[in-house]
Amino acid sequence: MLKLLGGNGWLTGLLIFSMPIMLVFFFGSQMAYSQVNSQFETYQNIPEVSSLAQLETIPAGQVIMVRGQIVAAPPNSATKLVIFQERPTGVREVRFGEEFNLVFPEVELALVGGQIKISPSLTRDRVIQHELHSITEGELTLTGFRPGDLVTVQGEWQPSSTTLNEATGITGADKASLIAEWQDSFQKVGWVRNGLGLLTLAGLILLVVRVRQARGRPVADETCPTPKTETATIV
């Protein structure tokens, strides 16, 4: 291999040597691309509602996004926040075994035409993002929502109890903003995947070219045998 790359430039050698590594990263980026694409399609198909009239056409158990204002929930007396996530303040490092609470109690949302209940999931991971308020308490920063905030909550609709069950996410953004974020992430992952694919292909082509050149190259240091000569003796 050293002889194979001996006459090449440093860039060619780097591409050939790093080709297996780039191939692994390419497969990883392809998996990430497929995952982001799947999640993007899922979000596109989830309906967003903001009124009770729209909920009348939603079947029981369907996952939806509900856009409304937080009401009928007693906020934390110190922070005035109803739903919030704890995070370390500033650049403080997370200590070993340290956990940060996500407070997501049952609340009600005011929609156009009435209110519905929000029941958070107790078994699935819950996500909070695009928080509208941030409060510092010692070494912790609390980010979240207060009564009156306009939020979007994702969960499973149950018309019999007028409740959004198994709520797994709450955000201050609407569906259009979330879709725009997914499109941006989808595009960036696509660029990374395509770039790694091109570099991997370039390294593979260079490797094939150099192997063929090495096989067809005459051996320069191979010496030809010198014929022996004998001196005849004259009698």
Count CB-CB contacts under 10 A for residue 166. 19
| CA distances in angstroms from 18 to 10, 32, 204, listed in the order given | 12, 21, 10
Contact 119, 73 (CB under 8 A): no
Q: What is the DSSP letter of 112?
A: B
C-alpha span between 66 and 104 (Å, rounded): 16
Q: What is the mean pLDDT of residues 60-69?
A: 94
In percent, the amount of the chain with pLDDT more than 70 equals 61
**pLDDT confidence of residue 36:** 67
- Predicted confidence (pLDDT) per residue in 30-53, tens digit: 676 676 666 677 777 889 999 999
**pLDDT confidence of residue 39:** 67
Higher pLDDT, 186 or 99: 99
- Predicted confidence (pLDDT) per residue in 131-150, tens digit: 999 988 888 889 999 999 99
| pLDDT, the chain, mean | 77
Tell me, yes or no, whether 137 and 206 share the same domain.
no
Tell me, yes or no, whether 137 and 172 share the same domain.
yes
Collapse the DSSP code of 106 into the 3-class scheme (helix H, G, I; strand E, B; otherwise coil) and give the result.
coil
Is the pLDDT assigned to residue 4 strictly greater than 70?
no
Q: What is the mean pLDDT of residues 149-164?
A: 94
Helices H / strands E in the chain, number of each = 4, 11
pLDDT bucket at 234, cuts 50 / 70 / 90: very low
**pLDDT confidence of residue 45:** 84
Tell me, yes or no, whether 204 and 126 share the same domain.
no
Of 49-63, 116-130, 143-157, 199-213, minimum mean pLDDT range? 199-213
C-alpha span between 44 and 39 (Å, rounded): 9
| pTM to 2 decimal places | 0.64
Q: Does the residue 222 lie in any domain?
A: no
Structural domain boundaries enclosing 191: 2-37+186-216
Task: State in Å, rounded, how far the first CA of the chain is from the last one.
Answer: 60
Q: Does the residue 51 lie in any domain?
A: yes
**pLDDT confidence of residue 90:** 72
In percent, the amount of the chain with pLDDT more than 90 equals 31
Contact 70, 146 (CB under 8 A): yes
CATH number at residue 121: 2.40.50
C-alpha span between 164 and 118 (Å, rounded): 5
Between strands 83-88 and 140-145, the pairing is: antiparallel
C-alpha span between 189 and 74 (Å, rounded): 42
**pLDDT confidence of residue 1:** 44
Between strands 102-103 and 83-88, the pairing is: antiparallel
Residues in CB range of 180: below 8 A, 6 or more apart: none
- Predicted confidence (pLDDT) per residue in 177-233, tens digit: 888 877 776 677 667 767 767 777 766 776 676 667 667 665 444 455 555 555 544
C-alpha span between 162 and 56 (Å, rounded): 10
C-alpha span between 231 and 175 (Å, rounded): 101
Tell me, yes or no, whether 93 and 202 share the same domain.
no
Higher pLDDT, 231 or 175: 175
Tell me, yes or no, whether 166 and 51 share the same domain.
yes
Total domains in the fold of the chain: 2
Q: Does the residue 232 lie in any domain?
A: no
Output the CA torsion sign for 176, 181, 187, 193: negative
